[in-house]
Amino acid sequence: MKVSQLAAVAVAILALGACERDSPSRVRAPGADESGKTEALEAGADLLQQKAPLRALNAYLNGFHFENGDMGSQMEAHHFCGHINQDVIQCVLFDGNGDSAKLVGIEYIISATLFASLPAEEKHLWHSHVHEVKSGQLIAPGIPLIAEHELMEEIIGTYGETWHTWHTGKGDALPVGVPALMVGFTRDGQLDERLLSERDARLEVRSNEIRAQRADIVGPVIDTDADAWEKGIVMQIQPARQAPSAATPAEATGRARQ
């Protein structure tokens, strides 16, 4: 990357948070309002405690996920990300970007080089980012277009593994149920247009224009073991089932004698 390009990305990171529009959470968790004591403790902790891991999450991305194996289960996801190194990025995911946002999951993003080193079964958990970038679905709100373009040139060749632990996209008011493996869209016509248009209006962006601006970004060849759902491979955690009660040693002995 050229020095001018690096400078543009640096300016973009500094500008993050300056211009994005508010996206409130769509659910309200049950429970009492915070007490004055709790608010005071939080205020004191905010002043006195270091939060280095949180400060390292200095990039904000907005995109969409759907549940692996269920194209109809879609939601908007607000990513707050930071580099561990040049090949590994970690993100925490929220259902909004304001004070009411619920932490709904995590996403790990790795380079194509690291992805190539994984065994095939592991690759089935990961999704590509080519369509998300080229379509304009994935954006970095509030930063200059030139900096966003440079950022997307880096992201387009990466792969992500995403788990949602709170299904607010389904209206769950509490983080119940098992985590769900979420994946990204790979072609036009998959994402619910209402989700896209509502996001665009709220954040004051135009996905079609962004798509046109990214036409010069070259999408790499996608590893054939990524986006495994397209081949009918559904990877999900199954809820635990009640196992038959095990017989005690005495019961087992009695049955053996019968």
Average pLDDT over residues 116-132: 98
Average pLDDT over residues 79-96: 97
Domain that holds residue 186: 3-19+52-239
Q: In this structure, what token pair is assigned to residue 218? A: 């070259």
**Higher model confidence: residue 31 or residue 5?**
31
CA 11 – CA 13 distance, rounded (Å): 5
> Poorest-confidence range of 138-142, 207-211, 213-217, 251-255?
251-255
Domain membership of residue 194 (yes or no) is yes
> Poorest-confidence range of 34-38, 79-83, 161-165, 246-250?
246-250
Residues 6 or more apart whose Cβ sits within 8 Å of residue 50: none
CA 192 – CA 198 distance, rounded (Å): 10
| Long-range contacts from 147-153, C-beta under 8 angstroms, 24+ separation | 147/8, 147/9, 147/11, 147/12, 147/15, 148/12, 149/213, 149/214, 149/217, 150/1, 150/5, 150/8, 150/9, 150/12, 151/9, 151/12, 151/59, 152/214, 152/217, 153/217
Domain membership of residue 31 (yes or no) is no
Q: How far is CA 175 from CA 163, 222, 229, in A?
A: 13, 33, 25
Q: pLDDT digit string (tens) for 37-60? A: 766 756 765 676 778 888 999 999
CA 164 – CA 170 distance, rounded (Å): 12
For residue 107, pLDDT over 60 is answered with yes
* Burial zone of 120 (CB within 10 Å; 0-12 exposed, 13-18 middle, 19+ buried): exposed
Domain membership of residue 82 (yes or no) is yes
**Higher model confidence: residue 67 or residue 19?**
67
Q: Are strands 88-94 and 59-67 parallel, antiparallel or unpaired?
A: unpaired
**Radius of gyration (C-alpha) of the chain in whole angstroms:** 22
Domain membership of residue 71 (yes or no) is yes
Q: pLDDT digit string (tens) for 6-41? A: 444 444 444 444 445 788 788 887 777 867 876 675
Residue 222: how many CB atoms within 10 A of its CB?
Answer: 18
The predicted structure's pLDDT at residue 45: 59
Domain membership of residue 35 (yes or no) is no
What does residue 197 show for φ and ψ, rounded to 5 degrees? -65, -35
- Mean pLDDT score of the chain, rounded to an integer? 86
* pLDDT range class, residue 169, cuts 50, 70, 90: very high
* pLDDT range class, residue 4, cuts 50, 70, 90: very low
Q: State the total domains in the chain.
A: 1
Share of the chain above pLDDT 70, in %: 82
Q: pLDDT digit string (tens) for 172-195? A: 999 999 999 999 999 999 999 999
The predicted structure's pLDDT at residue 32: 74
CA 211 – CA 191 distance, rounded (Å): 15
For residue 109, pLDDT over 50 is answered with yes
Average pLDDT over residues 112-129: 98
Q: What is the pTM of this model?
A: 0.83
Consecutive H or E run containing 163: strand 159-164
Domain membership of residue 162 (yes or no) is yes
Domain membership of residue 42 (yes or no) is no
The candidate with the shortest Cα–Cα distance to 19, out of 65, 50, 62, is 62
Q: Is 245 left (phi over 0), alpha (psi -120 to 50) or beta?
A: beta
Domain membership of residue 189 (yes or no) is yes
